Amino acid sequence: MKTTEIKIVVHEYENLVELSAEDQLLMKEARKITASAYAPYSGFHVGAAVLLSNGLIIKGNNQENAAYPSGLCAERVALFYANANYPDSEVIAIAISAAKNGVLVEETVKPCGSCRQALAEAEVRFETPIRILLDGQDSICLLHGVESLLPLSFSKKAL
């Protein structure tokens, strides 16, 4: 038997001003877009801001639907829009924020499994690690690459 240990490096910041200017802007955009999320069932408003290699910031928010699971998460809304409209622009970074009753969630928000897989595919597509910012009142976490969120991920190598 062989045992393998997987370690994840997470940079944790106490507040927004500790981030680089670029990451501050990205997180502010993610926070802003939470306000227009369509979340009448959960009341959990999520916003995502994706920085592309062409310098554009693409925003998305969660879109719920009474016929679960027909809705879509903020991360995939932003990623799919970016890939559809700017297919040659790499995803450099994504900032994800969430609010409940108009207030930033306390614990750092984390993407669901489907969003992690979509982020993994964006990395594979452009062969570029994505900088991932996760927002919360308690802290802001920065991860370098989707492998930090989704170790042992499914990819085209498995096909």
Cis amide bond preceding 69, omega within 30: yes
Cα pseudo-dihedral 113, 117, 120, 121, rounded to 10: -160
Query: Of 37-41, 59-63, 148-152, which gets the smallest average pLDDT?
Result: 148-152
Structure tokens, 138: 């308690």
pLDDT of residue 156: 76
pLDDT of residue 152: 83
pLDDT of residue 155: 77
Q: How confident is the model at residue 94 (pLDDT cuts 50, 70, 90)?
A: very high
Residue 127 annotated among the catalytic residues of the structure: no
Q: Does domain 11-158 have CATH number 3.40.140.10?
A: yes
3-state secondary structure the chain: CCCCCCCCCCEEECCHHHCCHHHHHHHHHHHHHHCCCECCCCCEEEEEEEEECCCCEEEEECECCCCCCCCECHHHHHHHHHHHHCCCCCEEEEEEEEEECCEECCCCCCCCHHHHHHHHHHHHHHCCCCEEEECCCCCEEEEECHHHCCCCCCCHHHC
* Domain range annotation of the chain: 11-158
pLDDT of residue 69: 84
pLDDT of residue 159: 79
Catalytic residue among 12, 18, 29, 75: 75
Distance (Å, rounded) from C-alpha 76 to C-alpha 103? Answer: 22
